[in-house]
Amino acid sequence: MPGAELRGVTLDCADPQTLAGFYGALTGMRELFTTDEFVALTDDSGCDLGFQRVVGYRAPQWPGQDVPQQFHLDFRADDLDAMEELALELGAAKPDHQPGDGRWRVFLDPAGHPFCLTSS
């Protein structure tokens, strides 16, 4: 049976360099490839994170669905409080709506994509 291995995830955005800088600082991933239109980050795990420029990009409107989120990223953190502080310092926003009874925390990256931090 053929199997496909996830190689990476690419996020649409208006400014790939800025968004890559945010996620690089949040995760410790380093730049693998960059152009004006696309930036890829890697940590040698085999799954890279890419950011591509989209003209007329519209940020998701979470938790509403006027502009759907389409997907979100989940990151495991040993110390949720410390990672929350870092995410906010780097330019993330923490929306009032926090589902999950504290098992995870939802944030919006500088381009408006929702992402979660969890301890599990």
**36, 10, 35: which is closest to 23 by C-alpha?**
10
Contact assessment for residue 54 and residue 14, using Cβ atoms and an 8 Å cutoff: yes
Contact assessment for residue 87 and residue 117, using Cβ atoms and an 8 Å cutoff: yes
List all residues 6 or more positions away from 119 whose beta carbon is below 8 Å from its beta carbon: 76, 77, 78, 80
Which stretch of 31-40, 56-65, 88-97 has the lowest confidence by average pLDDT? 56-65
| Residue tagged 């955005």 (tokens) | 13
Query: How many angstroms separate the CA atoms of 10 and 80, rounded?
Result: 25
Strands 73-76 and 114-118: parallel
Confidence check: pLDDT of 3 > 80: no
Burial label for 34, CB within 10 Å (0-12, 13-18, 19+), is: middle
**Model pLDDT for residues 45-88, shown as the tens digit of each residue:** 989 999 999 999 998 888 877 877 777 889 999 899 999 999 99
